[in-house]
Amino acid sequence: MQSLVANVLDPDLAPVFNASAGLCLPHFRSAVSATSTPDTLHALVSHQSDVMAGLAAELAEFIRKHDYRFTHEAVGGEGTAYLRAIALVTGRLSSDE
């Protein structure tokens, strides 16, 4: 966690962080607690917010495709968005942990 917080202002981190699943809520809280400057906190929140916005868009698409009018459309990567949302909030990757 310290390494992430220490490097959160590095411009090379943003694309890597945004391509990841982000931090689960317990780890995000820990990272927020470890920040020491407003700039670090802002960057951390911004990166996490970007990841969560992407997940929210996937959840919206998952919901849309479960509307009876769109059930003929194939479910893609958004098919696991609800599981990733649960993992993001709980910190658990799967039910078998």
In which element (H, E) is residue 55 found? helix 38-65
What DSSP string runs through 12-46? THHHHHHHS----HHHHHHHHHH--SHHHHHHHHH
Q: Where are the domains of the chain?
A: 2-90
Note the pTM of the prediction, 2 decimals: 0.82
Tell me: the pLDDT tens digits for 19-67?
A: 998 999 999 999 999 999 999 999 999 999 999 999 999 999 999 998 9
